[in-house]
Amino acid sequence: MYTWRFLGRVVLKAAALFVLFNAAFAAGDLPSVLSQISGYNYIFPGRSRFPFGENQQKAYNLSLNNLNAMFASHEFLDKRNGDSEYRVILLGDSSVWGTLLTPDQTLSGQLNEMRLRYCDGREMRFYNLGYPTLSLTKDVMILAEAMKYKPDMVIWLVTLESFVRQNQVESPLVANNLDRVRELSHRFQLEIDTPLILTESNFIDRTIIGRRRDLADLIRLQLFGVMWAATGIDQEYPETYSPAQRDLESDEGYYDLRPSEISTDGLAFDVISAGFKIVKDLPVVLVNEPMLISNGKNSDIRYNFYYPRWAYDGYRKILDDYSRENYLNYYDAWNLISIDEFTNSAIHLTPKGTAQFAQKLKEILADFSCP
- Interacting residues with another protein (CB under 8 A): 1-4, 6-7, 10, 56, 58, 60, 219-220, 223-224, 226-227, 229-233
User: Do residues 52 and 63 make contact, with C-beta atoms less than 8 angstroms apart?
Assistant: yes
Comparing CB distances to another protein, the nearer of 60 and 312 is 60
The 10 Å Cβ neighbour count of residue 136 is 32
Rg (CA), the chain: 23
- Closest separation between CB of residue 233 and another protein, Å? 6
Q: Which of 43, 125, 27 is nearest to 85 (CA)?
A: 125
Comparing CB distances to another protein, the nearer of 69 and 192 is 69
Comparing CB distances to another protein, the nearer of 231 and 242 is 231
- Closest separation between CB of residue 171 and another protein, Å? 26
Contacts of 17 (CB under 8 A, 6+ apart): none
Q: Which of 65, 43, 327, 104 is nearest to 234 (CA)?
A: 104
- Closest separation between CB of residue 60 and another protein, Å? 8
Comparing CB distances to another protein, the nearer of 13 and 117 is 13
- Closest separation between CB of residue 42 and another protein, Å? 15
- Closest separation between CB of residue 57 and another protein, Å? 8
d(CA 240, CA 116) in angstroms, rounded, equals 34
How does DSSP assign 194-253, residue by residue? HHHHHPPP-HHHHSTTTTHHHHHHHHHHHHHHHHHHHH---S---S--PPPP-S--S---
Comparing CB distances to another protein, the nearer of 232 and 296 is 232
Comparing CB distances to another protein, the nearer of 209 and 226 is 226
- Closest separation between CB of residue 230 and another protein, Å? 3
- Closest separation between CB of residue 212 and another protein, Å? 12
Q: In terms of residues, how long is the chain?
A: 371
d(CA 298, CA 286) in angstroms, rounded, equals 30
d(CA 271, CA 353) in angstroms, rounded, equals 29
Provide the strand spans (E) within 4-119.
Answer: 85-91
User: Do residues 157 and 130 make contact, with C-beta atoms less than 8 angstroms apart?
Assistant: yes
- Closest separation between CB of residue 6 and another protein, Å? 7
Comparing CB distances to another protein, the nearer of 55 and 194 is 55
Provide the strand spans (E) within the chain.
Answer: 85-91, 123-128, 153-158, 284-288, 329-332
Comparing CB distances to another protein, the nearer of 30 and 215 is 215
